[in-house]
Chain A
Amino acid sequence: MKPLSPSRRRAIGLIVLLCLAAIWQLLSMIYPAEAQPGEPMIAGWQVIFTKTLLSLSDYWQGGLGVRSVAEGASRGYAAACLTLIVNSAITLARVLGGLAIGTLLGMIGGLAVSWSSWGRRIVNLPMQFLRTLPLLAMVPLFQLWFGTNLFGQIAFTAYGVSVIVFAGTVNAVANIPAIFIDNARSLGASQSQIYRSVILPGILPGMRSTILLALGTAWSAVLGAEYLGAQSGLGYIIVYAQQFAYLDRMFLVALVILVFAAVFYTLFDRATRKLLAWAPQTSRREIAR
């Protein structure tokens, strides 16, 4: 199969999305069951973008010249949008903060440990344990350690991200073919020169997929923390909606998260493409012929 042009690829992606949206709409029509009166199990788009969106204004606590429902105002799109924007911003701050700190710590730790083969041997076993430990099992512990505030949530997310990035970095260093290091040494490179000119660029492809993995983990960690204690953020809206079986609100918020995740992915992909211009594109290689 010959590779598609970027515009063709975008067009195909768009068509797939539209089809998925249409299937959803179809499902909402053939399965009209309700969780409670007025709350369909599967809400069609005409509900999502009107009643559901409007209902988000319930979460608005006033300010910025838009009065809250509690203050006697009726539901409105301004309050609904502000709800989404503010809670998204809070969640994004947690995701990005945790991601940045976790990636930095994980990478520095991974590189430090990889300096010697002994370092790698020592961390290997504990690292395997830490990786299999379910992230969400640690939420209560982190809440007690750091509190249910922004700092605690970022610390928790950073922990989840750093475990993945640390393991990914150690792995990526170990996977650099020995021949490159032999070659550098016999051309006269010192240990620190090898680290800068062989190890650092050599781990980039591995780091790219590691960080993509960490992106997903960061979202899971933040949402987990928000389910279990936060009083704001997209995860908080979902948990609150669950208590009243507002399925349409949960779906809308999930959609918003999906959009953010897609934007993150695209931005990261763009940012790393230039850094990896040298790498053979095995990931894009077509298997079918």
Chain B
Amino acid sequence: MANAVQDIQIRHLSRRFTRADGQTVTALDDLSVTIKAGEFVCLVGPSGCGKTTLLQMLAGLLRQSSGEIEAQGKPVLRPGPERGVVFQKDSVFPWMRVIDNVEYGLKCRGVSKGERRERALHYLERVGLMQVAQAWPKELSGGMLKRVAIATVFANGAEILMLDEPFGALDYVTRHQLHDVLLDLWLDGEGGRRRTVIFVTHDVDEALILADRILVFHSGRMVEDLAVTLPKPRSADDLVLPELVNHRHRLLQHMGLIRPAAAKPGQ
């Protein structure tokens, strides 16, 4: 359902920081882009290019220096449960058991005990953590904590989901398992509607496997907007298909890992 009101509209968005030494850094520079409802967008780019800054502004946790963000027809002024965030750092509350963490947002909004328990267990099951529902977070591994964070935002029913390098620190196998979980959950959102996912990564292959659309950033500017049409779910094997090989080439070029063909000597 292409509904412009459900889209995320970003217009001339900038954010500057003043460092302790008095120097001004432009973390995000005049970004204008529209992210459609239900789209799975990956933000890629080298570290320090402004990905986290953008995500924090979309989440309403950081004010922009200039420009506007509109989500679901309203300007974003503060955080809200309709925009869930999986943070790069561990955000699971250590003083609550796993199940209480997953229920937390629902509890804050007054969802009844029975209903929120049911939802929490459902999503814990989806991320494969039923057996540790009653455990303390300190008893879980890093990958399990990430899955708790994902279950928490999904259980909270966020329409827009933002993940900031969520799997960056995980091992290869866990990461691929979590890709499947994430895509599963994205594909069957509530009411048959897909959620909007904004996924930050600096891993090119991860973006190619997950995204409908890849936005490439460099020094606070968006330098590329690629559509990926290959149907999902995709696996690591699909990385050899022509579309993904082409995209990959372009992405690596942007990262300075492959020189543009024209610049090659002797051609």
Contact = CB atoms under 8 A, between A and B. Distances in A.
A277 to B, nearest CB: 7
B138 A186 contact: no
A189 B108 contact: yes
Contacts of A189: 104-105, 108
Interface stretch (B6-14, B77-85, B176-184, B211-219): B77-85
Interface string B81-117: 1011101011101111100000011001100000000
A186 B81 CA distance: 6
Contacts of B59: 182, 186
Nearest to A275: B95
Contacts of A184: 93, 104, 108
Nearest to B82: A188
B100 to A, nearest CB: 9
Contacts of A177: 89
Given A186-B85, A189-B108, A278 B80 contact: no
A279 B80 CA distance: 29
A120 B85 CA distance: 28
A14 B138 CA distance: 33
B91 A179 contact: yes
Interface string A161-180: 00000000000000001011
A201 B95 contact: yes
B190 to A, nearest CB: 16
Q: Is the interface of B mostly helix, strand, loop or mixed?
A: loop
B87 A182 contact: yes
B156 A188 contact: yes
Interface stretch (A2-10, A92-100, A147-155, A190-198): A190-198
A131 interface: no
Interface of A: 177, 179-180, 182-190, 193, 197-198, 201-202, 204, 277-280
Given A183-B87, A186-B79, A186-B83, 10 more contacts: A177-B89, A182-B87, A186-B81, A186-B85, A187-B152, A188-B105, A188-B156, A193-B108, A201-B95, A201-B96
Interface of B: 59-61, 78-81, 83-85, 87, 89-91, 93-97, 104-105, 108-109, 136-138, 152-153, 156
Q: Which 8 A-B pairs have the closest CB atoms?
A: A188-B81, A187-B105, A201-B95, A183-B91, A186-B79, A185-B79, A189-B108, A280-B138
